[in-house]
Structure 1
Amino acid sequence: MVPFQTVERSSFKTMIRAIDPRYEVPSRKYFTEREMPKLYAELRENVEKELCDLKYFATTTDLWSSRTMEPFLSLTIHYITDDWNLGSRCLQTSYFPAEHTAEEIAQGLKEALESWGFKEERQVCITTDNGTNVVKAASLNDWTRLQCFGHRLHLAIGG
């Protein structure tokens, strides 16, 4: 859980040399261009296999900004397996520089579902906060929407 640039820091290199002077630390580029895409592809394949037979599912979504104010859109799927086990997977958190209009959000959510091969007809509902743009996005997609209990509780307490 550290940035890729860690492998380029002199203190990190010194530590690795102390552990094993023969070990050559791969570059940041090696991790970003080779290992992470490979790891992502393997993980995505495993998740797709796990979810391929779902009959029905629900989703949650949220728009948020990083510490550096970069905008993101997240989509999480929730489901019950044939063995009655509850499951949940964050399908994606995507950079979302588009204007946060209901139309853009609706399209972004449709594209997220489609990119994972999920059919809208099998989505039982989507849970969101009460942001008017997100509420309208669910309506534009003709999706059944549930209000997030956590957001409602926060509002009720006086947040």
Structure 2
Amino acid sequence: MPVRLSARRLVCTRRANVLSSPNDKNRAEVLRAEGLGEGHGCPEKLDVWKRACRLSADIYKLIGGCANFGFRDQLGRSALSIASNIAEGYGRESVKERIHFLRIAKASSYEAWTQILIGIESGLIDRKIGLEKSEEVIQISKMIYGLIAHIERSAGGKGQGRNPRP
């Protein structure tokens, strides 16, 4: 029985095959012909998305036993929002929309970073683990900033000189 791929998985698979082509000119032509930009529709190929997903899962494990529901809910949502907005941006058609959602993801990283620090200070999060997670949020934020700058340069725009660190 043949393996069935979803339309999204098929696009990602075709893109991966095209990108492995030794001829850069052919690769660029095929991508343009298929309407695929770099990374279009395939956030799972982005290291920043993978790290944001891992961070979100780690945060949920970290705060799972926290008695303060409001804190637990808010930190869980902000951490989840980072990866979710990266993915949503890569599901959008235009560069402008993609950058918009990446900026939302970056703002969510500031929110998660702040909440982790508050959790440490209030004793809701272990200091050592909290500092490790806050450093991971900082690294993810820098990666998002770099991705935004890369997309803007590739699209012919200028980087906005925004702060890469929460």
TM-score range, shorter chain: under 0.3
| Bigger share in helix | 2
Relative to its length, the structure with more strand (as a share) is 1
Question: TM-score, length-normalised on structure 1?
Answer: 0.26
Question: Which structure would you say has the larger Rg?
Answer: 1
